[in-house]
């Protein structure tokens, strides 16, 4: 078994792990990233695309946004469609000019990898972490990883472990539930997440409300859109052929006489069974970041933004520890992040309730629909509800 020693062992080469690795390196803190996928796999895994103004400002300060700024797009308003009527909310104007950047997650991951390796950083691709130990009282933390191709396994000894390994995190097993104190919410429906060769509709995010199949269209590149379609819990991707998908999207995403543009669907997955949030994001020498700490619904596009903000906070705390011998920011990591995480969860649930009607009895559905109409009228008037939406949607 190969033995390595660094200051910080990072599990997972997603946005959280790679951002942390890059920033630690700038502070002279040694780290190694262990990733179970190959480089090609992580650089082509399409997921997020909506990046908040604040996230981009941080990445820019860290020297990590050059490609994003050169090749991404921006968006500053979104369109809501309700019963065939569309209206726009210019959220950036209502939120002090804070636009979103649109840049596919896999491109950002590719850029973060290139920068980290270019700065002399080390990533062990195709190595799956099988065990980690960093509980209270341990002299050091350890990460054990097996090479996916059966080559020599690795043991990493480090001061701290940053668990950035996504929603199915192995760190969940290393931190007892009694300490993590997770809370979960099961959604009463699910979403088909699609990528299609369809140019974005007016370069805006479009949300369509519908009694059973709420939907959305989001720009990804000038030629590609991401679509979401609400489906019933229990349905499978195979239940939805392309024709059925475009018919359902066409029923919802109709602006006046302009039906949704159709195109080749290149990816189709089902997502969103439940949200889970760890109330405590640290234990001894182990810190949880990103989806490993909080997997929340896609509504509002908060997940990757939170993951990068966790990395920013933990990197600053580690810089204080190694640079000024100050342990307090590390001790306060959970407390610092908790409010921001729950703010995102709160907004995401508000938006879900606006966009989707939950299956239920007729009386409940009628009541929910009236609430939705009242909210839509508030948003349309660009009054206080629209300003709240804008502030939360755009992020700080
Ligand atoms: C369809 C879709 C659309 C989305 N849209 C948005 C959006 O617009 N805006 C937004 O902010 N968020 C969005 N999100 C959420 C966002 O993608 C996630 O929140 C984000 O990927 C979290 O980053 P992360 O680094 O925490 O985890 P991940 O990106 O999941 O990375 C974790 C990494 O850890 C690796 N790993 C896992 N287990 C191990 C192991 N045992 N050993 C080694 N490596 C391991 C994985 O292979 C992976 O590379 C979207 C998600 C989906 C699915």
Out of 21, 45, 301, 303, mutate this one to test ligand 1's pocket (max ligand atoms within 8 Å of CB): namely: 303
Do 340 and 236 have their domain in common? no
Of ligand 1's listed atoms, the one at least distance from the Cα of 50 is: 8
11 lines ligand 1 (CB under 6 A): yes
| Nearest residue to 75 (alpha-carbon basis) of 91, 94, 96 | 91
Q: Which atom of ligand 1 is nearest to the CA of 165?
A: 34
- 89 inside domain: no
Q: How many independent structural domains does the chain possess? A: 2
Residue 174 lies in a domain: yes
Q: Which atom of ligand 1 is nearest to the CA of 17?
A: 25
Q: How far away, in angstroms, is 301 Cα from ligand 1 center?
A: 12
* Contact indicator for 88, 94 with CB cutoff of 8 Å: no
**336: domain range?**
2-49+104-185+275-347
Spatial contact of 392 and 50, defined as CB atoms under 8 Å apart = no
Q: Is the CB of 42 under 6 A from ligand 1?
A: yes
Q: Is residue 32 part of a domain?
A: yes
Percent of the chain with pLDDT over 90: 81
- CATH number, residue 370: 3.30.9.10
Distance 227 CA to ligand 1 centre (A): 18
166 close to ligand 1 (CB < 6 Angstrom): yes
Q: Are residues 34 and 132 in the same domain?
A: yes
Q: Are residues 250 and 111 in the same domain?
A: no
CA of 350 to the centre of ligand 1 (A): 22
Q: Is the pLDDT of residue 215 over 70?
A: yes
Class of residue 333 by CB neighbours under 10 A (exposed 0-12, middle 13-18, buried 19+): buried
Q: Is the pLDDT of residue 78 over 90?
A: yes
Q: Are residues 370 and 383 in the same domain?
A: yes
317 and 370 in a single domain? The answer is no
Q: What is the mean pLDDT of residues 96-114?
A: 97
Q: Are 207 and 257 found together in one domain?
A: yes
Mutate which of 16, 42, 44, 47 for ligand 1 pocket (most atoms within 8 A of beta carbon) = 47
Inter-residue contact 4 to 156 (CB < 8 Å): yes
3-class SS at 5?
strand
Confidence at residue 368, expressed as pLDDT on a 0 to 100 scale: 84
Given a cut of 90, is residue 357 above it in pLDDT? no
Both 202 and 143 in a single domain? no
Ligand 1 atom closest to Cα of residue 290: 26
CB 163 within 8 A of CB 288: yes
Q: What is the pLDDT of residue 295?
A: 96
Distance in angstroms (rounded) separating the CA atoms of residues 176 and 188: 28
Q: Same domain, yes or no, for 214 and 268?
A: yes
Ligand 1 atom nearest the C-alpha of 303 is 19
The residues facing 82 across adjacent strands are 85, 209
Token output for 192: 């088909």
Which CATH number does the domain housing residue 135 bear?
Answer: 3.50.50.60
- If one compares 250 and 57, the residue with the highest pLDDT of the two is 57
Q: Is residue 168 part of a domain?
A: yes
Residues 129 and 264 both lie in one domain: no
Q: How far is the CA of 363 from the centre of ligand 1 (A)?
A: 38
Confidence of residue 256 (pLDDT cuts 50, 70, 90): low
Q: Are the CB atoms for 36 and 148 separated by under 8 Å?
A: yes
Q: Is the CB of 35 under 6 A from ligand 1?
A: yes
On whether residue 149 sits in a domain, the answer given is yes
Q: Is residue 97 part of a domain?
A: no
What does 267-307 look like in DSSP terms, one character per residue? EEEEE-SEEEEES--EETTEEE-GGGTEE--STTS-HHHHH
Give a yes or no: residue 54 inside a domain.
Answer: no
**What pLDDT shows up at residue 204?**
85
Residues 40 and 6 in one domain: yes
> Taking 80 as the threshold, does the pLDDT of residue 393 lie above it?
yes
| Per-residue pLDDT reduced to its tens digit, 293-303 | 999 998 999 99
143, 9 contact by CB (below 8 A)? yes
192 and 241 belong to one structural domain:
yes
User: 332 and 364 in one domain?
Assistant: no
Say yes or no: CB of residue 14 within 6 Å of ligand 1.
yes
Residue 70 lies in a domain: no
Atom of ligand 1 nearest to the CA of 105: 17
């Amino acid at each position: 078994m190969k033995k390595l020693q660094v200051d910080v062992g990072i599990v997972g080469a997603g946005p959280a792990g790679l951002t942390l690795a890059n920033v630690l390196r700038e502070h002279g803190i040694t780290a190694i990233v262990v990733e179970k996928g190959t480089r090609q796999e992580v650089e082509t895994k399409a997921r997020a695309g909506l990046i908040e103004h604040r996230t981009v400002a941080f990445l820019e300060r860290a020297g990590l946004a050059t490609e994003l700024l050169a090749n991404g797009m921006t968006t500053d308003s979104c369109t809501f469609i309700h019963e065939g009527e569309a209206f726009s909310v210019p959220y950036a104007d209502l939120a002090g000019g804070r636009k979103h950047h649109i840049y596919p997650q896999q491109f950002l991951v590719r850029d973060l990898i290139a920068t980290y390796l270019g700065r002399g950083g080390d990533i062990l691709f195709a190595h799956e972490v099988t065990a980690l130990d960093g509980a209270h009282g341990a002299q050091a933390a350890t990460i054990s990883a097996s090479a996916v191709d059966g080559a020599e396994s690795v043991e990493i000894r480090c001061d701290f472990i940053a668990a950035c390994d996504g929603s199915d995190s192995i760190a969940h097993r290393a931190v007892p539930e009694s300490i993590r104190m997770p809370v979960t919410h099961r959604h009463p429906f699910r979403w088909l997440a699609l990528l299609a060769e369809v140019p974005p509709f007016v370069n805006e995010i479009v949300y369509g409300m519908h009694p059973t199949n709420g939907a959305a269209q989001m720009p990804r590149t000038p030629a590609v859109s991401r679509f979401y379609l609400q489906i019933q819990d229990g349905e499978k991707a195979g239940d939805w052929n392309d024709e059925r998908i475009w018919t359902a999207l066409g029923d919802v995403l109709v602006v006046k006489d302009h039906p949704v543009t159709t195109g080749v669907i290149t990816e189709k997955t089902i997502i969103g069974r439940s949200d889970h949030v760890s109330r405590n994001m640290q234990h001894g020498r182990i810190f949880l970041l990103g989806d490993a700490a909080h997997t929340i619904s896609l509504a509002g596009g908060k997940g990757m933004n939170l993951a990068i903000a966790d990395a920013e906070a933990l990197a600053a705390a580690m810089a204080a520890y190694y640079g000024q011998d100050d342990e307090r920011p590390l001790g306060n990591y959970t407390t610092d992040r908790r409010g921001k995480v729950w703010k995102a969860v709160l907004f995401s649930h508000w938006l879900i309730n606006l966009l989707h009607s939950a299956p239920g009895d007729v009386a409940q559905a009628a009541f929910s629909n009236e609430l939705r109409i009242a909210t839509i009228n508030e948003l349309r008037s660009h009054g206080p509800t629209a300003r709240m939406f804008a502030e939360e949607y755009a992020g700080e």
